[in-house]
Amino acid sequence: MEEGRQWVADTFYGEDGDTVRTLRLRKGWSQARLAEALATSQPHIARIERGRENLTIETCRKLTRALEIDLNTLDQALKRQEAIAQARQK
């Protein structure tokens, strides 16, 4: 299943660049698995990935640990997914 998620990240979301979704999928994780790592819910992860959640610094720290990235990479991923979300609303 992990390989399938990695394939989806590259095939369907590759042109999006790094977003929380693509970073998660490249790890081969489901939203539920990431939620478990953050001690939160799957719907919360879905809102984060859609750019509809204002994150606390603690949530950002948890994301960086779980996804094995630094805060700068997370910041860029969040900005990118926000831009994607805004473009889809137009």
* 5 HSE (CA, 13 A, CB side): 14
How open is the CA angle 79-89-25, to the nearest 5 degrees?
50
SS3 category, 18 = coil
Which pair of tokens denotes residue 56? 């606390």
- Report how far residue 79's alpha carbon sits from residue 43's, in angstroms, rounded to the nearest whole number: 20
Residue 86 pLDDT grade (very low, low, confident, very high; cuts 50, 70, 90):
confident
What is the tens place of the pLDDT at every residue in 47-71? 999 888 889 999 999 999 999 999 9
Is the pLDDT at 81 greater than 80, yes or no?
A: yes
- Taking the alpha carbons at both ends of the chain, their separation in whole angstroms is 34
Residue 17 pLDDT grade (very low, low, confident, very high; cuts 50, 70, 90):
confident
Q: What is the pTM of this model?
A: 0.82
